[in-house]
Structure 1
Amino acid sequence: MKTIKKVLKILGILLLLLVVGMYILFVTMTSPKSDEDVIESFKEAPVKPILEHKTYKNFSYRVLSIISDSNLPTLIFVHGTIGSCMDFSRYMMDKDLVKKYNMVSYDRIGYNYKDKNPVQESIAFERDLLDNLISETMSDSIILAGYSYGGPITLASKKKIANLVLLAPAVYSKVEPMPWMLNFYKWKLTRWLVPDIWKEASKEKMSHQKDLMNFESNWKVNPNNIISIHGDADWIVPYSNSEYLLNHFPKEQFQLITLKDAGHDLIWSQFSNIKQQLLNL
């Protein structure tokens, strides 16, 4: 009996250590990287990155750029919830894409490294910040690529650009799921367990459905040619989001590219497919 209790005690301690270790790893992996770590990540890149801190309405945010030729078109990436400028680092280090585009990625407010500002929970604010960034970009040709929550931000912009690429865009309020894991943030007893960056993501996720209602009936006023790339196995941002857009835009303006069996991690898991679509532009 004593032996069994001792074994169970050891197993319990090991299990606790495993859970704590996984939690620390989870926090570390999902937290924004420092400026030094971002630059270090690009040490093997074909073009040296430029890391700047810009200001919009007294909010400071971080912008990561790859500028290989001032005459090239500029591809601007907008990350989702949760996310950072580093979500698109593989694209920005790709030797083929570097030959075709200058590339820009940025941390949205609330997702910067050690950001003291909360997320703004506003597509309108995010759109205006993006429009301001576009205005500061010295390029005659702009392509926007918005992933997940970044999809409605890019779609809300009224600026005339070369192309708009939506990557699993969360644009339709009626199919917006609320994951059970959000309860860890909702419940006061467990909120302390949620890392700060995920608290911001939770707030943004919980307000997204209502905020979408201010925009979704007017998506069709976007003047640009649009490509939506979406996995049909995406349960975080259902494929029906892109089907909704397909029914609201004329065929000559909107193209839906379906990635079979792909989930919401498509910007990583479907890198080759998405890269080819960007090259095709």
Structure 2
Amino acid sequence: MTDAGGPVADHDDPAADDGVPDLWRGLDLPGLADVHVHFLPPRLLDRIWSYFDAAGPLVGTEWPIRYKWTEDERVAHLRAMGVRAFSALAYAHKPGMAADLNRWTLDFARRTPECLPSATFFPEPGVLDYVRDAIDAGARLFKVHLQVGGFAPTDPALDPVWGLLTEAGVPAVVHAGHAPVGTAHTGPEPFAELLARHPALPAIVAHLGAPDYLPFLALAERYDRVALDTTMAFTSFFERFVPFPAAERPRLRDLGLAGKVLLGSDFPNLPYPYAEQLAGLVRLDLGADWLRAVCWHNAAALFDLPSA
């Protein structure tokens, strides 16, 4: 395929992880920036992996995790693929755990230079204080999982938190969509209500908002600081359940070129090679400039990443 940014050859569709560097080198990028990567305390991560292994109610399908490796092995693999910036998204599913998770993830970022300092929160007493503490400690990205957390984004306890993130300009990756299993608080309507209250909120909608792609595309078009991440979208695993409508690819291209689509993967919790995420983006045939924007430039602008 070609565009104003030059050709993207067939071999740039990586079939395996060791081919990932060929993609970003072929695009003349310094590497990849992935805003949807999970690093968590080992005991919690083990419990999450067990939940996926059991195809728990919020998973809803067989999900054999490919990268059940040690923390050091997972960091080394990201580095080997050229992922030069990545998050450490943790998420609280009950009261009393978010502040401890933030201490762990922020410490992980201090000892992992490529990691964007990441944090989370839950609607509970004291939430504003520990979110402010996390920002003061350097947090540059938050994760909110409405499906797993089981709370509404408009919970009154969170109203001052969203206001603080807006004022500080710190984005939150929000799992707002119904996929893989919807709950009372997922879907475009609760998130749209949140944005109506906080129209300047910097937010990144995980998984492109799947399966409700169209209303989440519309929200990203309407609100200046709302973006989308590509996590799991366009992979063969995800497309069998919630295929992205081909007719909407021009809108996706426009949003990506406008800085509003960012690479996300869900590493390490993947039932397929990391390379499949990138191969799916290449197969969209939206052009080299779009791939450059999504794989690096949009996150680089948002997080002021070094260019070399």
TM-score w.r.t. length of structure 1: 0.38
Please say which structure displays the higher CA radius of gyration.
Answer: 1
Query: Which one has more relative contact order, counting CA pairs under 8 Å at least 6 apart?
Result: 2
Higher strand share: 1
TM-score w.r.t. length of structure 2: 0.35
